[in-house]
Chain A
Amino acid sequence: MANPVHRLNPLTQVFLVLAATIIGLFFGPIYWACFFLVALLVCALSGKVKGFLGVFLVGVLPMGLLMFVLQLFFSGDGRVLVDWWIFEATEGGLQNAIHFVSRLFTIATGVLLITQIADLQRFARDLEQRGVSPRATYVIQSTFLILPEMQKRAGTILDAQRARGIETDANLFVRAKAFLPAVAPLILSSLTGVEERAMSLEARGMTLSGPKTSLLHVEDSALDRALRVLAVLAVLAVIGWKVWLWTR
């Protein structure tokens, strides 16, 4: 809880990021660049720059570049900027590409930012404090915690199949043939695992009636409430402004 962003109520964090993302959809690349810099700063305050930039550079940027090229050469019309073989880049195509990619980057920045700064346990606890059923918050939390474990288990199963002579390391065709032996035991054992886990959660009183308590209490301050209202107002204002522009 070292920095002011982390101190905010998780729902406020979601509202702010969501508002910034929605507003970004109405603006161009300059807005995205500003949003990106703010996101980078927030991540820096939380010590999450590496995670944020890593996913952006490896996952989002290449996809954005691909989309940019496709939009540039295969959409829009107007003055021809580049004409090479069967490819033709037009002024309209360039505008489409810039708009499309800046929206893509805005959405990606919002998603990346929230995944880097949000604390799942606080978020789930906050939802419970707001009356959401602990069963529902359990599903959200456990999905994120158990997924990496499923990955590990998939590795073990793949090992078990390789150990009985099933090739998994060669070309695509060979890998495709190994798909069933790798996936079927994972699904079957996951089903058994879900049943066992449900029983052990029963043993820990998950469905016990009566009020539940927690070591964690998530504050929802006046500042949080004000920021959420501001976020909603900002979105409504931008939408209103855009509607006014269109209908003028």
Chain B
Amino acid sequence: MTNPAVDIRNLTFTYDLATAPSLQDVSLTVAPGEFVSIIGANGAGKSTLCAAIRGLVPHFSKGELRGSVVVAGKSIPETPLGEMARDVGYVFQNPFTQMSGVARTVFDELAYGLGNLGVPAEEMRERVETMLRDTELEPLRDRNPFELSGGQQQRVALASILVMGQPILVIDEPTSQLDPETTQDMFRLIKRARDEGRTVILVEHKMELVAQFSDRVVLLQGGRVVMQGTPAEVFSDPRCEKAGTRLPESMYLRRALAAHGVELPPHPLTVAQLITDVDAYRAGRSVASSAPEPGAIPAEPPASEALLELDDITFSYPNGVKAVQGVSFRVGRGESLGIIGQNGAGKTTAAKLINGLLKPSSGTVRLGGEDTTRWTAAQTARRVGYVFQNPDDQIFNKTVASEVGYALKRLGIPGDEADRRVAAALEMTGLTEQTETNPYDLPPSVRKFVTIASVIAADPEVYILDEPTAGQDLVGLNRLMKILRELQARNKAIITITHDMEFVSQNFRRTIVMTGGKVVLDAPTDQVFYDTKVVEQAHVDQPAFVELASHVGGAPMGLSMTRLAAAITGGESAR
């Protein structure tokens, strides 16, 4: 019998200064060539477990380790940290900090690790060339790694590890900042590594991908292994949702269909499986498939009063790159919409033009009928709140309350009023219990809510949220959806930039699709994803619902579960 790639027994680890262990009595064995995903809510101990496999815990992040961790036959506590580089490759979440900082080209970046392994120059060249070809990074070979987009950097980071050829790969949330297309690219590379016989240990929030690729899924909760098994075993177990993790979207869809009288086999792990199940169901009932018909459900009437108006906005960066070209749209009070498109489509630039961080080269932005061109960004910010993608771009106060109240103090809001607003914003974002906590003691996913709270406290009329769902678990997503509903009820306009198509389809009535700096479609969400030409052009994914509905075909059903159920059953049992 071959030795396991990873053999962990009764591992308990407590970080220095921490009051409770991050891992408790964890036992896990991973066979060579196995693909194991570790899932669980934020703070469950997933990253600590990955760090323990590589030896970053306890050698780099210090603490008390009990139990045994043996990786590639070496005992982690007794093996110097550097030595594990021959056996374990590690890909981190943040693309930027994975660039070595000493390579001027992507080629050199890939060669850096091989140099540390002592690979002769000629072999190094060959291996880098092959990896550039295999990972389709050849067009970027002479580019400065720091000048690449986040998605490109993450692909380079993965390639830089793959080229080193370690038999074990630990990959910790590699796609949390990536668009759907780059996410697929990343997983194609990870799958390829597995197919070559490497052991893969993955942490990922996108459960469709976990279900699709994993041989085994390990569920962590509060630092303990709650259960482990095949994706079907784990995702079908009620403990999974109780632990605060999402399920693959296909399973939610099946559940919703069941509530409408469509009984399908349990636990479809992928949309493809669900489609097969639906086909079988319909075949059993002799319901014929039909081609999707053009047309759509009538849209909501447009908002009566335009609060925000963008009129033929164009913006060019000093290097001449036109980031936004001829963009026009209106947003009414109480309206919420999603902006989608791949990285570099101009979404964030458009948002910065709205809140005055950038000034348009031509065109106008009006807020409540007033031209904002001459306002400073700070003046615009009083009416347009912007939640940045990375919360660490703005957090610096010692407590959550002082962070949330900082801008109010600077804006001269009287103490009592400021306190009241801070308390209300903390309550709305579920942070009341963390009022006196140092924000940097909270996980990044919760820090995001600190920045959302500081915008809510300032009480703007328009909210812009940049990638609010990135890195959020089920608890975080639910909290976010609740906040959006409350803001909408207060008649606020909400613009959300996101790569999460399920989130868009479930939360926004209207969606703007951008590509190449232009708006290619501005339409009700229940129509947008059916426009396959636009979906393809913008390199976005169809939500699971639309994928299934498009397959079922028939009369336009938008995002209505009732209509989808009716189409599947031939109209008999839809409730």
Contact = CB atoms under 8 A, between A and B. Distances in A.
Contacts of B125: 215
A233 interface: no
A57 interface: no
Interface stretch (A46-54, A109-117, A157-165): A157-165
A209 B82 contact: yes
B117 A208 contact: yes
Interface stretch (A3-11, A21-29, A166-174): A166-174
A133 interface: no
B299 interface: no
B90 A164 contact: no
Interface in A187-217: 188-189, 192-193, 196-215, 217
Given A159-B352, A162-B378, A206-B116, A185 B392 contact: yes
A166 B411 CA distance: 8
5 contacts: A162-B378, A165-B407, A166-B410, A202-B82, A206-B85
A166 B56 contact: no
Contacts of A149: 96, 146
A162 B377 contact: yes
A199 B303 CA distance: 50
B378 A213 contact: no
Secondary structure call for the B interface = helix
Nearest to B384: A163
A169 B378 contact: yes
Which of the four size classes fits the interface of chain B?
35 or more
Of listed A138, A168, A192, A200, residue having the most chain B CB within 10 A: A200
Nearest to A187: B396
A204 B102 contact: no
A163 B117 contact: no
Interface stretch (A30-38, A60-68, A140-148, A219-227): A140-148
Interface stretch (B106-114, B233-241, B470-478, B481-489): B106-114
Given A200-B90, A205-B86, A213-B119, A166 B378 contact: yes
A205 B117 contact: yes
B115 A214 contact: yes
A121 interface: yes
A240 interface: no
B36 to A, nearest CB: 19
A206 B112 CA distance: 9
Nearest to B396: A184
A85 to B, nearest CB: 43
A182 to B, nearest CB: 9
Contacts of A213: 114-115, 118-121, 124
Given A202-B85, A208-B82, A185 B393 contact: yes
A160 B393 contact: yes
Nearest to A188: B396
B102 A141 contact: yes
Given A163-B355, A215-B111, A208 B86 contact: yes
Contact of A205 (B116, B406, B458): B116
A201 to B, nearest CB: 7
A45 B118 CA distance: 36
B378 A205 contact: no
B101 A207 contact: no
Nearest to A140: B102
B388 A166 contact: no
Contacts of A198: 60
B349 to A, nearest CB: 12
B98 A200 contact: yes
Contacts of B378: 162, 165-169
* 6 A-B pairs closest in CB distance: A207-B82, A205-B85, A184-B396, A205-B116, A142-B101, A203-B90
Contact of A210 (B101, B118, B376): B118
Interface residues of A, number: 53
A203 B161 contact: yes
A204 B458 contact: no
A215 B407 contact: no
A162 B357 contact: yes
Nearest to B101: A142
Interface in B80-107: 80-83, 85-86, 88-92, 94, 96-98, 100-102, 104
A160 B388 contact: yes
Given A205-B86, A205-B164, 12 more contacts: A145-B102, A156-B390, A159-B388, A164-B454, A165-B378, A166-B378, A185-B395, A200-B97, A203-B54, A211-B118, A214-B121, A215-B124
A1 interface: no
Contact of B100 (A170, A181, A204): A204
Given A165-B381, A210-B118, A196 B102 contact: no
B60 A162 contact: no
Contact of B376 (A157, A169, A217): A169
Contacts of B281: none
A166 B382 CA distance: 10
Interface string B38-60: 00000000000000001010001
B458 A196 contact: no
A119 B254 CA distance: 61
Contacts of B82: 202, 205-209
B160 interface: yes
Contacts of A168: 378
Contacts of B118: 210-213
B455 interface: yes
A164 B393 contact: no
Given A163-B381, A167-B378, A193 B97 contact: yes
B102 A124 contact: yes
Nearest to A169: B376
Contacts of A170: 376
Interface string B124-137: 11000000000000
Contacts of B91: 203
A210 B83 CA distance: 10
A215 B164 contact: no
A196 to B, nearest CB: 4
B332 interface: no
A203 B89 contact: yes
Contact of A142 (B102, B114, B381, B396): B102
